[in-house]
Amino acid sequence: ARCRGVRLADNGGSGGVCALLSSELEVNASATAASATDCTGDRVLAWKPEQLQLSGCSESSTLEGNCNNAIDGSVDQNHNPGAVCTHTDRATVANEWWQASMTSRAFVSLVRIYNRQDCCETRLKNFAISVDGLQCASYNSTQAFSIEDFPCEQVGTTLKVTQRFSNEFLTLCELQLSGCSESSTLEGNCNNAIDGSLDQNHNAGAVCTHTQATVGNEWWQASMASRAFVSLVRIYNRQDDVESRLNNFAISVDGLQCASYNSTQAFSIKDFPCEQVGTTLKVTQRFSNEFLTLCESSSSDGCCEGRSDRPSVS
């Protein structure tokens, strides 16, 4: 007997279903090969914010190292042996700063900062984090930290950290962003597809994702919390208007297409067999220069008792 579909919890929570794009999307998946024959009940998997890539950095001044040291992938917090962190001067501007650009417009859910630990960690005790000039997080404390996560919840392309102590050095050993991404954003943001809401009435308050129509093929993507076998993808399309825009698209896992849709008939909620192992799910609009809108997503592994034909997950 076929098991019930498993719902993806929003961002690791235990309740609700993940929302995806301008339509709802559910992904059926199992987290381990051992669970292939475990059909005792629903397994709840989570979407994990993907790590967003940063490039093209700059800083207010440079005393040691360079701005790229904050986005070079090294989490070494011992700056002195080889100037492995960024390190501004402190007399060039009233408030020193560092910034970098994301490879595409994205929803930044979290910013993780690695502070230096060989000395002087107390310098990083009063600063602000902004995306495209809008402050989304800050820190002001008498306590120094080693590694700290800062919820941001902001859409944009440029991330900036500003020292709020006047005439003080700014040193960052590594900075990591997580969130979701889409080719462009007209209304709402990519997180609307994984926010747990199944509302398909986008116009009421931009509750779905909604790209522009500026690139050849618009897209949306997010990462699963662990490598998984995706057997089924369920998409919830918007129903307030223009649902026919979602009539020609492809679904891929880790860059390998596993399902597609091409029809003159619009749908409300539809299941797409996928049968692919991976960590990143992507939906690509195949109409050229057309909006992509998704309202929500969830997933299940669709396993069968004693089934042995499913790929292992490693």
How far is 168 from 17, CA to CA, in rounded Å?
Answer: 46
At 58-94, the pLDDT tens digits run: 999 999 999 999 999 999 999 998 899 999 998 777 8
- Look at residues 164, 180, 196 and tell me which one is the last residue of a structural domain: 180
Q: Is the pLDDT of residue 17 over 70?
A: no
Where does residue 214 fall: left (phi above 0), alpha (psi -120 to 50 degrees), or beta otherwise? alpha
Residues facing residue 271 across a β-bridge: 234
| Pair 266, 217 in one domain | yes
Q: Show the domain range for 136.
A: 51-180
The residue with tokens 């662990």 is 226
Between the alpha carbon of residue 304 and those of residues 2, 38, 114, 301, 309, the distances in Å are 5, 8, 45, 9, 10
In this structure, the answer to whether residues 101 and 78 fall within a common structural domain is yes
Q: What is the pLDDT of residues 106-158, one digit of tens each?
A: 889 899 999 999 999 999 999 999 999 999 999 999 999 999 999 998 989 99
- Whole-angstrom Cα distance, residue 37 to residue 2? 11
What does the alpha-carbon distance between residue 246 and residue 286 come to, in Å, rounded to a whole number?
A: 9
Say yes or no: 69 and 173 in one domain.
yes
The pair of structure tokens assigned to 202 is 């986008």
- Same domain membership, residue 113 and residue 43: no
- Residue 148 sits in the same domain as residue 212: no
**Rounded CA gap, 32 and 253, in Å?**
17
Has residue 32 got a pLDDT over 90? no
Asked if 162 and 199 sit in the same domain, the reply is no
Same domain for 206 and 65?
no
Q: What is the CATH number of the domain that holds 266?
A: 2.60.120.260
Torsion of CA 131, 135, 138, 140, to 10 degrees: 140
